[in-house]
Structure 1
Amino acid sequence: MRISVIIPAHNAAPWLAEAVASIHAQDVSAEVIVVDDGSADATATIAASLPGVRLLRHPQARGPSAARNTGADAATGTAVLFLDADDRLLPGALAHAAACLTATPDAAFVYGAHRRVDAQWRPLTPLVLERCEPDARLAFLATNCVGMIATALFDRGKLLAAGGFDEGLRNCEDYDLFLRLAIRWPVASHPHPMAEYRIHGTNASADPARVLHAAWAVQARHAPADTAGRAAMAAGHRRWARAYALSAWRDNAGLPLPRIAGQRWRMARLAPAASLFAAAIWAARRVLPPAAFASAKRRLTGTPAPGHVDFGDLDRATPVSPNFGYDRGTPIDRWYIERFLDRHRADIRGRVLEVGDAAYSRQFGGAAIARQDVLHAHADNPEATIVGDLGQPGLLPEGAFDCIVLTQTLMLVWDMPAAAAELARALKPGGVLLLTVPGTSSVDRGEWGERWYWSLTGASVTRMFGELFGPDNIAVTVEGNVYAATCFLHGLAQEEVNAAWLERADPAYPMVVTLRAVKPGASAGT
């Protein structure tokens, strides 16, 4: 995959060199295109002086959408990423994005996490990632899941087929593009940090009322006819009103008073109910003692003050269910696992190996399986065709399998690197490993408890298997958040919790880590 990174630049002289440096620092090479959009400063001169930069110019400013389209038209890469001149990519960004796009070739674009920083690159927020799976259309009707355009890597062919950016839009042109693409093609996300969004007081999105109006207009132009789509859009309408109203009353450090007042007045006219809520929060913070403000904030937002958390049915030292939730319905980890396997059911074909039993192979592979093998630790398992410890070198036949399905098992192997190497060795060139491992989990109370050695993170899975398969051949996803982890630890079932909250991914609370890895070489069918 060849990647082109396009930087639209208008009067970007103070920042451009840092943005370009962040591209050159990647461990995946990329074509760098700077589109000078009618700058009156030294932007073009600086761009021309930077090594490895291809400079394109608009004699007069036409806006960021036009600059991005010019860059996309001229790019030679099969995939393109747009980096604003005042932002920068984080280490490993292009490699992780390329791996995700390779793993989901039907996707119009893939995206990862970002964080906001101040003018000196000091973090203002933790990493932000809002997942769009399993239904990207509904997710983007509700909100801009991407949040920062530099986190998105686009399939250039699909980008151009959709008409690129709408040059008539001056705000939310990226959201308009994301939504148009999500309506036509799949979209995928990954948990890896992609970029930093620098807040310096002159950002194009500095006027919350203007941006909110533009976001609502984009939603309206793509208004769906179906009930689910209308509900998603209505929820997003309310959510954005409150978020931008809070921004108008909060994000104003260093702005002159008339500008602050103007922003708040415009917001009040546009979203009166949300503005009243935001003003109440702002006023309470200033007139109430800290303890009283915390109490008021809890009533307004649902965030409890210290010492006032209501644990309810979870106020107990023992779990609701000691059996992962099997006795109550579908365990939450299995919900994540089965969605992952369903997304990649086309990989489960030919000669397939599953560990423990062949239930998932039968469920998701079915008739596409030509030969089924089962690995088990005990010879008395009637389905077992291979018996032993996966960490034992040479246990599996070399280059034999088109697909290996390994769910919630690797943590039972003491020598995990050896097991990972054995899995890679056993795949045919082009063969696929579909793996899931636990992050946050209770330990089995039965026969496997004594062998439950490890919990893993997205970083550990990425490093372990990236070294074996190559970073471009793996796609790692971290599922879960604090809500999902809490419910799962107590043994609540998926059917009795808020499924919408399970969708939100927070890499700080990994519950299930999934991996799709493809062994380099010819496809399994050749």
Structure 2
Amino acid sequence: MEPTSAPACPLVSVIIPCYNHGVYLPEAFASVWQQDYPAVEIIVVDDGSTDTTRQVAQAYPGVSYFYQPNQGLSAARNTGIAHSAGQYLLFLDADDWLLPGALATNVQYLQQQPDLAFVSGGHDKVFVTTGVVRPEAQEVRADHYQQLLQGNYIGMHAAVLYQRWAFEELRYDVTLRACEDYDVYLRLARAHPVAHHTQRIAAYRLHGANMSGNIPLMLRTVLAVLQRQAPHLRSPAEHAALARGQAIWRAYYGGELYRKLQTTPGTAAELRLLATLYPKLFLRTILPSNATMLKQLLKKCIPNAGLRLLHQTGIYGGYQPAIGQVALGDFGRLTPFSANFGYSRGGPVDRYYIEQFLQREAPAIRGRVLEIGDNAYTLQFGQGVTQSDVLHIDADSPGATFIGDLSDAPHIPDNLFDCIVLTQTLHLIYEYKQALATCHRLLKPGGTLLLTVPGITPIDAGAWGDTWYWSFTDKALRRLLADTFPSQTLEIGSHGNVFVASAFLYGMGVAEVTPSQLDVYDPQYQVINTVKAVKAPLDARPA
């Protein structure tokens, strides 16, 4: 008996959830039946409508109609999945429609690449009040999960065609009042290959009843959906993408809300949201023509809260909270936001200073270079590197060219390296003075040590916690390094301030702190200290 081959045109189930949008259904049906793809079923899930949805849907013999009490969009889509028979699934909102060639285009992608969980395309935005049609088609060729962490590049659900098997492992989350499609994209793209193209698949009708007009709900939900991905991130790049995505969504909805409030009175929720996201825009919105009057009003009526708001917006710089009136906000907690130095929120704050230092001193990372642990920074910043070596204490470490303890490494020859990159390691070595002496011995005359050490810092909760011995101030480094390197060749740098130190201790990600905040230095709050130390050339040594 010969095996049965797959059908040339697998069935596509077009699932249309509908809540009081019966008037739009005939246009949606017509857009499906006008496709040049022959194997289609239409399923309408009436989510407790009180309009003509039932009568309209049942008037078309080619439509399967199912009713449920109102439970929301996610539940309606799940009901549609349960009643569908197609190998491929498409979700079309009742007030939208498919463009010509939509099904054939997306089916071809899934047939050619059956391991894809879904394929998505572009779409048209149709603005009902103005009649304007705006094409939306963003090109994304790779790293789809990482790209989705930074924003919903798909933008419209009907532009997506799913494999049926994708819903064998998940369903739409009925607890989400919005962004349930974005949640599904992220969950599937995290676990399976997906694809995207720029051919426009569907039309998205924008009118006053769209849920996307509820900006506080949309922002609150999209940030919650993104945060669900935090435990599943696998790399620093993904952590950074999540942090960028959170910032991008805040900026997007903050801008949308500000534009809306220029012409429409805001609700209390909208005004609170704008004040949180963009205090300056909030002030312009509630009193756009007289900032002086606003300042006097706030000082007179609500001195502490008013001056605090003016301080947050940059209008008034001399604010100090009264005793007992400090507003801790998100810092009013006994546990950090991240217990892994901020890696789960986009990367550690201190990496900003370390990488700025290495970028500035990149010309010294040349010739034969030794880095401790791995050679990531050598590869990233090196200029004219002829040989990259790695010293690691673990004999099983991949990529290590030398094994041993930096404080006692007699097997490594003298005067071997043009540069040693020693970042965030000295504090883990109990005999740190011997380690610095080893660095001096291993450098060629005229060679450079690039060193960074923690000042104010959390302590690692993992393996490094057992050997986390020290922190160093800039003054301590100057005295320590003077024992081995000529003082005139030492360049000591120090970085941090009270806000950055607090942000680092609480586990905020580097993307959550602005360069203008990071670049302010207060010597009382040293987060990272850096050293450039040059070994004296032969002709400069004492006889």
Q: When the two structures are superposed, what TM-score results if normalisation uses the length of structure 2? A: 0.48
Q: When the two structures are superposed, what TM-score results if normalisation uses the length of structure 1? A: 0.50
Which structure is higher in RCO with an 8 Å CA cutoff and minimum separation 6?
1
